[in-house]
Structure 1
Amino acid sequence: MRTFSFIISLILGCTNVFAQDVPQKIYPDVYVLRIGTDLVKASRNFWDKNYTGFEINADYRYNKKWYIAAEAGFEDRFKEDDQLTYTTSGMFLKIGADKNFHQNWLDMDNLIYVGGRYGLSYHNQTLHSYRVNTGNAYFDEEMQYPNLKTTGLMAHWLELVVGIKAEVANNLYIGMNVRLKGLVYQTQPEGFENLYYPGFDQKYSGNIGVGFGYTVSYMIPFKKKF
Structure 2
Amino acid sequence: MRTFRFTISLLLLITAKISAQEKAPQKVYPEVYGLRIGTDLVKASRNIWDKNYKGFEVVADYRYNKNWYLAAEAGFEDRFQEDEQLSFTTSGMFLKVGAEKNFHKNWLDMNNLIFVGGRYGLSLHNQTLHRYRVNTGTAYFDEELQYPELKSTGLSAHWLELVVGIKTEVAQNVFIGMNVRLKGLLFQKQPDGFENLYYPGFDQKYSGNIGVGFGYTVSYLIPFKKKNPK
Contact 1:95 1:119 in 2 (8 A): yes
* C-alpha distance in 2 between matches for 1:45 and 1:63: 36
For residues 206-217 of structure 1, what are the structure 2 equivalents within 5 Å? 206-217=208-219
For residues 95-134 of structure 1, what are the structure 2 equivalents within 5 Å? 95-134=97-136
CA deviation after TM superposition for structure 1 residue 106, in Å: 1.3
* C-alpha distance in 2 between matches for 1:113 and 1:220: 20
Q: Cα RMSD over matched residues?
A: 1.7
Q: Which one of 190, 199, 202 corresponds to residue 200 of structure 1?
A: 202
> What SS class does the counterpart of residue 42 from structure 1 fall into?
helix
For residues 172-191 of structure 1, what are the structure 2 equivalents within 5 Å? 172-191=174-193
* C-alpha distance in 2 between matches for 1:191 and 1:50: 25
Contact 1:94 1:120 in 2 (8 A): yes
For residues 1-226 of structure 1, what are the structure 2 equivalents within 5 Å? 25-225=27-227
AA aligned to 1:188 is Q
> What SS class does the counterpart of residue 201 from structure 1 fall into?
coil
* C-alpha distance in 2 between matches for 1:195 and 1:207: 12
CA deviation after TM superposition for structure 1 residue 140, in Å: 1.6
> What SS class does the counterpart of residue 116 from structure 1 fall into?
strand
AA aligned to 1:145 is Y
CA deviation after TM superposition for structure 1 residue 196, in Å: 1.0
> What SS class does the counterpart of residue 162 from structure 1 fall into?
strand
AA aligned to 2:179 is N
CA deviation after TM superposition for structure 1 residue 23, in Å: 7.4
Could you list the runs of 5+ residues in structure 2 that have no partner in the other structure? 1-15
CA deviation after TM superposition for structure 1 residue 24, in Å: 5.9
* C-alpha distance in 2 between matches for 1:23 and 1:106: 16
> What SS class does the counterpart of residue 128 from structure 1 fall into?
strand
Aligned residues: percent identity?
Answer: 81
> What SS class does the counterpart of residue 223 from structure 1 fall into?
strand
1:29-60 deviation digits (Å, cap 9, x = unpaired): 22121101000000000000000000000011
- Normalized against structure 1, the TM-score is what? 0.88
- Normalized against structure 2, the TM-score is what? 0.87
User: After TM superposition, what 4+ stretches of structure 1 lie above 6 angstroms from structure 2?
Assistant: none
* C-alpha distance in 2 between matches for 1:26 and 1:118: 38
Contact 1:127 1:192 in 2 (8 A): no
The size of the alignment, in residue pairs, is 209
CA deviation after TM superposition for structure 1 residue 191, in Å: 2.1
* C-alpha distance in 2 between matches for 1:136 and 1:199: 39
* C-alpha distance in 1 between matches for 2:107 and 2:225: 17
Residue aligning to 1:3: none
* C-alpha distance in 2 between matches for 1:142 and 1:68: 51
